[in-house]
Amino acid sequence: VEADGTRVFDLRMQAGEKEFKSGQRTRTWGFNGDYLGPTLRAGRGEKVKVRISNGLDEASTVHWHGMHLPARMDGGPHQMVEPGGTWSPRWTVDQPAATLWYHPHPHGATEKHVQRGLAGMFLLDDDKARKLPLPDDYGVDDLPVIVQDVRFDGAQFDHGHQLMRNTGFLGDRTMVNGTLNPYREVGDELVRLRLLNASTARVYDFGFSDDRRFSLIGTDGGLLAQPAAMDRVQLSPGERAEIVVRMKAGERTVLRSFPQDNYGDAWQTRFSGGDDSFDVLELRAKASLRPSPALPGHLAEPEVPDGTDSARSRFFGLRMSGINGRPMDMARIDEVVTRGTAETWTVRNEDGMPHNFHVHDVQFRVLEVNGERPPPELRGAKDTVFVPGGTTVKLAMRFEGPADPDTPYMYHCHLLYHEDGGMMGQFVVV
Ligand code: C2O
Ligand code: CU
Ligand code: CU
């Protein structure tokens, strides 16, 4: 902490080696370690500064996914950090408690940098959320669950794309927090899981092996208005969900990803991994559990506009070849938005491939999915939304600024092979 109260974090991107399977060392990248990065945490109203150094032999960036902050602190493809270089973005946290994350964003190489292990969580807190009786003892009854799919070629990661797989990389097994075959012993009746899909292309439909119901309490940008009882929650790359699951003493259950049927046609579903199923994380309850208070009926009103005061609408057609027919161009500004105004963005899948849509700097409300009210997992604050084949979503968001006509934010498909291939555009706030 600096004299003026600024909370300072140090992140060093470095190459390393990690033993995922016993006796086999895999070459990896990580922040301050061999694989993934530390969980950063700050409160609303706090000033933060991150001192980043690049110990890799290639240039990269660090982007704060889900964070509202000035464009030049965003860590997008315009804020490259050269090998041996440093970068120290600073901003004031001004948004509700949420599960955000950070990862590199070098144009054309994001998939590779994330796959090698550069990703971590950035948790935000606020006074209202602190007062709610939610499981919030980090690492005890409040667990980060970073889900990635991987494939090994002997001891090393195999990042090859298979034939017919225009989705990008699809692994044949999953890891949680960089661990294969993970299990977790829990000692509380209620356990909160902060699920992050940090995979580069794979979509998961999370639920439990015994089909038990759980409470969805939060989405990308923070807590929901009220907990929603669910038995599945679908997350495409980049999306988060906070769920609370009730355990009984001595029992076991497995967080699993189930086959999905909403990718478009059966062929697309099959070749983009929608038929696959994975055991993701086993929870093992201790023989006796600490009692947890009941979940509150009301959590927090998501701070996202409802579309009624939108000053403008825009349309985004998603194709693998580019958004609105244009592949990403670092020198072209695609959209100019006005500081302080709300807008409605309509996003349509135009080629039937699975895509999603992520907007930097803002959280949005999903007003409609194919003209209908969205399901509970899309009713909170979101910064990324799945847009599978045959889908059109309508989003409402407000651009708070600050104005910076020279530095763009990005919007893009978060299937990183698509993003790298040009499914990205740039907007400035003026
Ligand atoms: Cu998670 Cu533009 O990024
Ligand atoms: Cu982002
Ligand atoms: Cu895509």
Per DSSP, the three-state class of 182 is coil
* Residues in contact with 308: Cβ distance below 8 Å, sequence separation at least 6, in sequence order: none
Cβ of 78 closer than 6 Å to ligand 1, yes or no, is no
State the distance from the centre of ligand 2 to the C-alpha of 108, rounded, in angstroms. 15
* Residues in contact with 128: Cβ distance below 8 Å, sequence separation at least 6, in sequence order: 96, 97, 300
State the distance from the centre of ligand 3 to the C-alpha of 294, rounded, in angstroms. 40
Q: For tokens 């399977």, what's the residue?
A: 21
**Count of other CB atoms within 10 angstroms of residue 417:** 20
* pLDDT tens-digit map of 145-192: 999 999 999 999 999 987 666 899 999 999 999 999 999 999 999 999
Q: How distant, in Å, are the alpha carbons of 42, 187, 240, 266 from that of 133?
A: 19, 17, 21, 43
Tens-level pLDDT at each residue, the chain (430 residues): 888 999 999 999 999 999 999 999 999 999 999 999 999 999 999 999 999 999 999 999 999 999 999 999 999 999 999 999 999 999 999 999 999 999 999 999 999 999 999 999 999 999 999 999 999 999 999 999 999 999 999 999 999 987 666 899 999 999 999 999 999 999 999 999 999 999 999 999 999 999 999 999 999 999 999 999 999 999 999 999 999 999 999 999 999 999 998 887 888 888 899 999 999 999 999 999 999 999 999 999 999 999 999 999 999 999 999 999 999 999 999 999 999 999 999 999 999 999 999 999 999 999 999 999 999 999 999 999 999 999 999 999 999 989 999 999 999 999 999 999 999 999 999 9
* pLDDT tens-digit map of 324-374: 999 999 999 999 999 999 999 999 999 999 999 999 999 999 999 999 999
Intrachain domains 142-290 and 310-429 with the same fold: yes
Closest ligand 1 atom to 238 CA: 1
For residue 95, count CB atoms less than 10 angstroms from its CB and return exposed for 0-12, middle for 13-18, buried for 19 or more.
buried
Which class would CATH give 7-126?
mainly beta
Give strand pairing partners of 150: 173
Fold of 310-429: Immunoglobulin-like (2.60.40)
State the distance from the centre of ligand 1 to the C-alpha of 247, rounded, in angstroms. 34
Give the residue, by CA position, lying nearest to ligand 1 atom 1: 65
Query: By C-alpha distance, which of 346, 334, 351 is closest to 428?
Result: 334
**Residue type at 347 in one-letter notation:** V
422 contacts 331 by C-beta, under 8 angstroms:
no
Cβ of 238 closer than 6 Å to ligand 1, yes or no, is yes
Closest ligand 1 atom to 360 CA: 2
Q: Is this model's pTM higher than 0.95 or not?
A: yes
Q: In what order do the strands lie in the sheet with 384-387?
A: 335-337, 424-429, 409-412, 355-359, 384-387
Cβ of 358 closer than 6 Å to ligand 1, yes or no, is yes
CATH code: domain 142-290 is 2.60.40.420
> Which ligand has the nearest atom to the CA of 237?
1
Tokens read off for 41: 């945490």
Cβ of 365 closer than 6 Å to ligand 1, yes or no, is no
State the distance from the centre of ligand 1 to the C-alpha of 411, rounded, in angstroms. 8
Q: What is the residue extent of each domain of the chain?
A: 7-126, 142-290, 310-429
> What does the DSSP assignment read for 291-359?
--PPPPS---------STTEEEEEEEEEETTEETTB---TT---EEE-TT-EEEEEEEE-SSS-EEEEE
